[in-house]
Every structure is written in structure tokens, then in C-alpha cells.
A and B are shown apart, each in its own frame.
Chain A
Amino acid sequence: MTSSLQYEIQLRPDFSLLKVSLDQGQKVYAEPSAMAAMSPNLKLKAGFKGGALKSLGRLMGGESMIVNTFSAENGPGEVLFAPGHLGDTQHYRLTGGSLYLQRGAYMANSEGVEISGKWQGAKGFFSGEGLVLLKASGTGDVFFNSYGAILEIDVTGDYIVDTGYIVAFEDTLQYNVSVLPGLRGGGIKRLFFSGEGLVCRFSGQGKVWVQTRYVIPFLSWVDSFRPRKDK
């Protein structure tokens, strides 16, 4: 039996800050460097949670192998987490099912939740987002963050999302990676010129969370301002 965490997400959606209030003895796990502030009675322990294999899975999923554990000792306390970049934070309550997270989206979780890497096979390879997604499963709370705001999409039937904008999705959804409808006939040339790259087609019943900005196009814009090496 895991009790749910008491939390509050402040300053959404642009500068989101997650505040978790812990009772004595309660724990919360978070990715390294997410902590912004905490009560003095909280104890921080860094470690490889879940053994070598799980840690490696997290590494492959674009996260750190280390997970920080915050536990409240000698009374209640609170801790504040902030994402690394401008953006939103979203809470999801797991009740036995699983949630898939995009690379880098994981932020924090409560006791009872296991975070591991999940091999995506060829689907992952073609999505351009890495071969491994993070999988959160068990019973408890999980928090994930985005670049830009997060929008929740209730999928009933079919929905298409650009692979770069996916933040998380429920495992009740099936997905496959394809090109945009209408581009299919045009061959490979169309695919490159449309600029939309590959999309994920979700089907079934469940929720998908998307972010309103994508960091890669921003980075390629910044790249044009990089100084050139003198020859």
C-alpha cells in the first residue's frame, strides 16, 4: 500500500516548480540536479536505484543512472523540484498500469513506482528519439516535465503526434511510427521537404501528453550563432 504524495505544481506552465510535502519517514525519488530547495530535516541520498540493470536501462532511456532519494526525518518537510529548462510539469497517478516517458522527461516519483528503460526496437530507431523509452510502472505518483507547456490529449481511435513533441503516453495505447498521411505517396523526397519528419500514430484508448515546443529546432537555430574556429 502506498499513500499518495502531497504535492503542488506552481507557476505553470512556463516556469513550473513542483513542491512535495513529505510526512515523517516518507520518501520521494528524483533525477539528479532537479532539487531547487528543501527543508533542513530532509536527508538526501544518491544511489543506483534498483540495481545495475535498471540503472543501465535508465541511462539508455536518456536519464542519469543515479537517482536521488529524499526522505523526511524527525518530522515532516518539503522539497521543491524544478526542470532544467523553461517548461511545464505534469503529475500522473499510476494504479498498476504503466506510463511511457520520452527521453529526458522523467523528473520525480513516489515510492511504489519503478522507472526502467524499455527497448523500443525498430520503432525507436525510426522515431529519431532513441531506441529506449523510459517506463514507469507500479502504484504511485510520477512527475514528468517538458520544454514548453504540456497539453493532454485524450485518444479515442487514432491520433497522430510528431515524434519530437511526445512527452508521455499510457501503455493502453498502441503506437507505430510512420510518415504523415498524404506524404506517403510522395516518396522520400516529400518526407524530407515537409519538415515534419516522422510521426507517431497512436491508436486505442488512453492519454498522450505533448509539449508545445521542441528543443532540437531551437538548438539548430542557436547553432548558427556559434563562433567559428580560426584556422
Chain B
Amino acid sequence: MRHQMLCQPAATALRFELDQGESITCEVGAMIAMSSGLTVETTSKSKGGSGGIIKGLKRMFSGESFFLNHFTAQQPSQSLLIGPTMLGDCVHHTMRGGTMIVQGSSWLASTPGIDIDTTWQGFTSAIFSGESMFWVKCSGSGQLYLSSYGAIHCVEVNGDYTIDTGHIVAFEDSLKFNIGKASRSLIGSFLGGEGLVCKFHGQGKLYYQSHTLPSLGSLLGPKLKAK
């Protein structure tokens, strides 16, 4: 399987070239177009893996859809075009074992070797991060595709790194984190508009996005007609 990122960075789409028998699991609704030799299977579990209804329900809480779409090539050299809902970039991460924690809505697609589950990030981090309480936990090996709202950056954390909670896209679980104040005093951090930040420590990859969806939503929401 080969992939290609198109039209980066604001309206990125992904093109996959699949050979006969190869398959890829995508977020529901992500397909733009595809060749006619691909079939789609909608399930609530990872391809050939465990899962079922409980994992499906957990995924729903994480901001992902209950169901996953598996695209499988029935003929040689098939192509598939997918794109996320929001304007923004996509990134590809190669997993060789280990676990990646992905923000609820950023998971876009992955190859069959990756198991998709959700994880509980603890009560405080959920409330204060402004993000969904559940995160998507991807483990195994293969290719993982993530989407962001805005541009996406990757840092190799070695030691300490501080990031605004809303900007996190994904991180390797070799990184430990705790939620803290941005400035020394609590009032100062809220007045500064930064709220709470995530302080990572350890070694691993961290992906973050330039913009956050909750701030777009709170900007647009009040301007819309009440329903």
C-alpha cells in the first residue's frame, strides 16, 4: 500500500494505492472517491481484531463514530481518496509496536495491524482540557493517519515540553503528562487566556495543531441564530 498527501496544508486529502487483498480502516464519512474494485465493510471493530459493541460505544464517547469503514481491494491497483471534515492538515505516523494516544476527533485512518480502542484520561484532565474525556488509543504496528484543525507540527520530546491542552493531536504513550497552570498563579493563567496546559515529560513524539476547534466553535456559535 502506498499513500500520498495532496493539496497540503489547508484542505489536505489522502490518496491510497491498494493492491489486491490490501485493506485500510477509515473514519466513517471520510471517503471522497474510490475505484470500483474496492469493497466497504462497516463494523464496530478493528479489521480481524477484537472489539464489538463495547469498544464501539467507547469510541462514540471519544468523538469518533461508533462504526468503522474497512476498505478492501478486490482487484489489483485500486485507489481511494479520503479527507477529514474540518479544514486542516493530515499527518502520517509509522507505528512499530507501542501505543499512540490520539485526541478524539483526530484519528482518520489506519492499516489493519493497528488496534483502535479508547482510553480514559482521568477526570481532571478531561474537565480542564476542554477536550473530550476519551482519547483514541492506537496500538500495534502499521501506518496511522491523523488529521488536525489547522497546521500540524511534530516535536520529539526529550525531557520536558509544555503545550496548551486543546492543541494536542496525538502523543506516544512513552510520554507522561500532568495538567498544570500556564502561569504561576491560577488567576494569572486564566486571565492570560491560556487556562490549563499539559506538561509532558519523558521521551517520545508529540503532534500538535495550530488551531483548536472549541475556539472556532465559541467564536461562531454566538453569531448564529438560536435554535
- Residues of A at the B interface (CB closer than 8 Å) are 13-14, 86-88, 148-149, 151, 153, 157-162, 165, 180-183, 186, 190, 193-196, 201, 208, 210-214, 217-218, 221-230
Contact, CB under 8 Å: A14 / B224: no
From B7, B35, B67, B220, A13 is in contact (CB under 8 Å) with: B7
**Stretch from B83-91, B115-123, B125-133, B169-177 contacting the other chain:** B83-91
B221 contacts the other chain (Cβ, under 8 Å)? yes
Tell me whether B36 and A160 are in contact (CB under 8 A).
yes
Q: 5 other contacts beyond A159-B34, A195-B67, A222-B224, with CB at 8 A cut-off?
A: A149-B10, A180-B31, A182-B72, A208-B33, A223-B227
Q: Which of A13, A190, A212, A223 contacts B32 (CB 8 A)?
A: A212
Residues of B within 8 A of A (CB): 6-7, 10-13, 28-29, 31-36, 38-42, 65-67, 69, 72, 81, 83, 85-87, 213, 217-218, 220-222, 224-227
> Is the CB–CB distance between B28 and A225 below 8 Å?
no
| Interface residue from B35, B218, B225 paired with A160 (Cβ < 8 Å) | B35
- CB of B33 within 8 A of CB of A165, answer yes
Report yes or no: B67 in contact with A225, Cβ–Cβ below 8 A: no
A-B contact pairs, 16 of them (CB 8 A): A13-B10, A88-B11, A148-B11, A149-B7, A149-B13, A153-B33, A159-B35, A160-B34, A165-B33, A193-B28, A194-B28, A217-B85, A221-B85, A225-B217, A225-B218, A230-B226
Known pairs A14-B11, A222-B217, A229-B226; A181 contacts B33 (CB<8 A) = no
Contact B11 A210 (CB under 8 A): no
Cα A213 to Cα B28 in complex, Å, equals: 14
Closest to B36 in A: A158
Cβ-defined partner of B33 (8 Å) among A87, A161, A183, A230: A161
Instruction: List chain B residues, Cβ under 8 A from A186.
Output: 42
Instruction: List residues of chain B with CB within 8 A of the CB of A230.
Output: 226
Would B28 and A196 count as touching, CB distance under 8 A? yes
Min CB gap A40→B, angstroms: 33
A182 touching B41 in the complex, CB below 8 Å, given contacts A212-B7, A212-B32:
yes
* C-alpha spacing A225/B226, complex, angstroms: 10
Interface centre among A148, A153, A222, A223 (most CB of B within 10 A): A148
Q: Which 6 A-B pairs have the closest CB atoms?
A: A225-B221, A182-B39, A195-B28, A149-B7, A158-B36, A148-B11
Tell me the bound Cα distance from A190 to B72 in angstroms: 16
Question: Are B10 and A181 touching (Cβ within 8 A)?
Answer: no
Q: Nearest chain-B residue to A208 (Cβ)? A: B33
Q: Beyond A13-B11, A228-B226, is A181–B36 a contact (Cβ under 8 Å)?
A: yes
**When chains A and B are docked, how far (Å) is the Cα of A64 from the Cα of B217?**
30
- Give Cα A186 to B213, complex, Å: 35
Contact of B35 among A158, A195, A208, A211 (CB under 8 A): A158
- Using Cβ atoms and an 8 Å threshold, which residues of chain B touch A217? 29, 85
Give the residue of B6, B40, B224 whose beta carbon is less than 8 angstroms from that of A225.
B224
Return B161 CB to nearest CB of chain A, in Å: 29
Partner of A195, one of B12, B33, B69, B226: B69
A86 vs chain B, min Cβ distance (A): 6
| Contact call B13/A157, Cβ cutoff below 8 A | no
- What residues of chain A lie closer than 8 Å to B41, measured between beta carbons? 182
Which residues of B are found within 8 Å of A149, using beta-carbon distances?
6-7, 10-11, 13
Q: How close is B85's CB to chain A, nearest CB, in angstroms?
A: 4
In the assembled complex, the CB of B76 is this many whole angstroms from the nearest CB of chain A, namely: 13
| Shortest distance between the CB of A80 and any CB in chain B (Å) | 20
Tell me the bound Cα distance from A107 to B90 in angstroms: 29
Q: Which residue of A lies closest to B43 (CB)?
A: A193
Chain B residues whose CB sits within 8 angstroms of the CB of A160 once the complex forms: 33-36, 38
